[in-house]
Amino acid sequence: MRSYLDHNATSTLRPEAKAAMLRAMDCTGNASSVHAEGRAARQLLDEAREQVARAVGVIAPMVVFTSGGSEANNMILKGAPVERIIVSAVEHPSVLQAATASGKPVGIIPVDGNGVIDLEALAELLHGPRALVSVMAANNETGVVQPLAEVVRLAQQHDALVHSDAVQVLGKLPLNFGLLSVDFLTLSAHKAGGPVGIGAMVVRDGIPVEPLIHGGGQELRRRAGTENLITIAGFGAVAGLRHDVRTLRDRLEAGLDGAEIFGSTVERLPNTTCFAFPGMKAETLLMAFDLEGVAVSSGSACSSGKVAKSHVLAAMGVKPEISEAAIRVSLGWDTTEQDIEHFTAAWRKIRDRHKARAAA
């Protein structure tokens, strides 16, 4: 038996997405062409854009399709009409590196021991020229949810714009652009059961964004290039679907006796558990779980197949000997009770084996 519990990295493809993509494969036309085949492609594109827009409570022209969340983050961080950028210390690398690459001054918002941003520090950072504040809706490693309402309130007092990377939230928690009152939102399909290679940025009406890719007039001239109709159709099919696996996550965590669960006392995504057991190494744990038929990931970012230190856990003040043992388990729409039982049995076997070696 194999149990795939790494949905925050990429989720399994939902059947709704697959069906929509297969239908789109039969569409020959280019959505920019005026003949019948082109109009058919345009209809599919418009329908998918409307589905994504409806899922986050906006009008269709506010949705710009991209190659994924990283491109959307780069476009917003580099193209927003601001003089400087403020980001949280626990952002995804595509936000942190895009902020640096923008050439604008960058301020970093610290976080507390749970990974929640320091709002007082943000208030101080906001003094100065107009800024873009980028705070993720929920963290990809720990699942910790950020206080976006307070972020927006503080930003509006200083005429700052607000961007939120909501890639991990789509399909897991309610997500409404208007209620959040942000100016930019980043989405990605493959974290929600859609295809890899398609994402979107949502832009508040009237705010200009400098394109990363120039050429044709696609995406209201915000992103040139013929649209990837097949993946866009798959994205649209899953954009409004929700799954709640909180009960399964709680059952999994109940079996993690002796482990430290990061962010456990604050609001988290209902599918995410990041934990560590002192004395263990993440590399060893990953291999041990894989041999037991369980796919999980390190709590830290992976680069070229090597486990690197987690900047998220470091920002939270987690000791290196603990963070280097961090493992992330992320459940998805097709996770079952049997998967949780499988994981728990594997964890107990791995933990007991470790304890026996330590006592020898």
Tokens 């906001």 -> residue: 126
Measured CA to CA, the distance from residue 329 to residue 216 in angstroms comes to 42
Which one of the listed residues 302, 345, 349, 353 is annotated catalytic?
A: 302
Question: Is 27 one of the annotated active-site residues of the chain?
Answer: no
Q: How many CB atoms lie within 10 A of CB 205?
A: 8
- Angle of helix 337-359 relative to helix 282-291, nearest 10 degrees, comes to 130
Give the per-residue SS3 of 58-111: CCHHHEEEECCHHHHHHHHHHHCCCCEEEEECCCCHHHHHHHHHCCCCEEEECE
Q: Measuring CA to CA, how many Å separate 293 from each of 55, 257, 290, 296? A: 35, 21, 5, 10
Measured CA to CA, the distance from residue 128 to residue 73 in angstroms comes to 23
Is residue 111 within 8 A of residue 139, CB to CB? The reply is no
Measured CA to CA, the distance from residue 10 to residue 6 in angstroms comes to 7
Backbone φ and ψ for 337, nearest 5 degrees, come out as -60, -35
Q: Measuring CA to CA, how many Å separate 140 from each of 232, 277, 299, 313? A: 23, 20, 9, 12
Q: What is the CA radius of gyration of the chain?
A: 21
Please list the helix, strand and coil fractions of the chain in percent, rounded to the nearest 5, in that order. Answer: 40, 15, 45
Catalytic site residues?
A: 302
